[in-house]
Amino acid sequence: MAMFVHLTSAANAPRIRRSGIRAASHGQGGARGVYCFPVLPSYTLTHQWLRELARFGSRGGLVAVHVRLDDAQDVLVGRYADRARDAQITVSASEAVRRIAALEDPRGWEVFVPRAIRPGEVHRVRTAPQVAGWRYLPDAHGVRPCTCFGCRVRGGYGARRLRERLPHPLDGPPPPVKVLLARVAAGDPGDPAALREALHWFGMRRRGPLAQLSRLAAHPDPGVREDLVWAVARWSTPGVTELLDGLADDPHSNVREAVEASRDPL
């Protein structure tokens, strides 16, 4: 049996002990499953993703969930950057452990299990120090920081000045809110592409005009409804929970899965 560790919010620990780990993460090619990493002799390498995952917030800190998988279980293995290029390869769980353990520098590598983890496969759940690992990417110190939406930290020290000094060509600065609302209000039901672009920019905000966007929950294009979920999921605006509750029963599976994933990001 191959042993792996999955890092997640401490708030998820009771549910994981009871019913396992949900397939809430998106992997290569849009597959849904669970990210993990082999348990290696080095504690630091085994828990290398701790500080990076902690940047995105967690309820009660992060915990390490040790899982045992059958040696023949198919998994995807590769570096994080390989995921975007569909370059991760499918191997058995035991082969994934062997490959990563043999690397001179396994930092930035990951294993993706393309299914949920059953309760019987959960070996133990324990607390983990929150100081192990790298941030942003291995050897990031001294490298020009990236200001794309996925890399930047909202509210981080000097974050606004950094975005102004190094604007990202795709992720900012966004159009004014009045311009975005005009795009949302244009037409009935409106151009799905224009609406999804507007929702992309709204998703970079901490709060937003929920009342003006709520009508998109009934838009005939499921892609618009899915992007609405991702746009408002992290907002602190009152009414977000109720809107997501309604979209959790959406007739399209992608919208329902988006709501589930947005409520369980780790």
Mean pLDDT of each 10-residue bin along the chain, 266 residues long: 95 94 88 95 94 79 95 95 88 97 95 96 90 81 77 70 80 84 86 92 90 93 95 93 94 94 72
Query: Rg for the chain (alpha carbons), in Å?
Result: 20
* Residue with the two structure tokens 């600065």: 173
**Are the CB atoms for 89 and 78 separated by under 8 Å?**
yes
- The CATH fold assigned to 2-127 is ADP-ribosylation fold (3.20.170)
Q: Which two tokens stand for residue 3?
A: 């042993």
DSSP 3-state of 158? coil
Cα angle 203, 182, 223; round to 5: 45
Which residue intervals of 22-122 are DSSP H helices? Answer: 43-46, 50-54, 80-84, 93-101
Strand partners, 36: 111
- Residue 69 per-residue DSSP state: E
Distance CA 237, CA 243 (A): 11
Domain ranges across the chain? 2-127, 144-173, 177-263
- Give the C-alpha distances (Å, rounded to integers) separating 180 from 20, 30, 201: 41, 28, 8
pLDDT at position 164? 81
Looking at this protein, which amino acid is placed at residue 135? R
- What is the number of H-type helices and E-type strands within the chain? 12, 8
Element (H, E) at 113: strand 109-113
pLDDT at position 37? 97
Distance CA 205, CA 244 (A): 17
**pTM (2 d.p.):** 0.61
pLDDT at position 144? 79
Distance of CA 151 to the CA centre of its chain: 12
Distance CA 224, CA 218 (A): 9
- Residue 68 per-residue DSSP state: E
Distance CA 248, CA 233 (A): 12
Other CB atoms within a 10 A radius of the CB of residue 180 amount to 24
- CA dihedral angle for residue 22, residue 26, residue 31, residue 37, rounded to 10 degrees: -70
pLDDT at position 262? 87
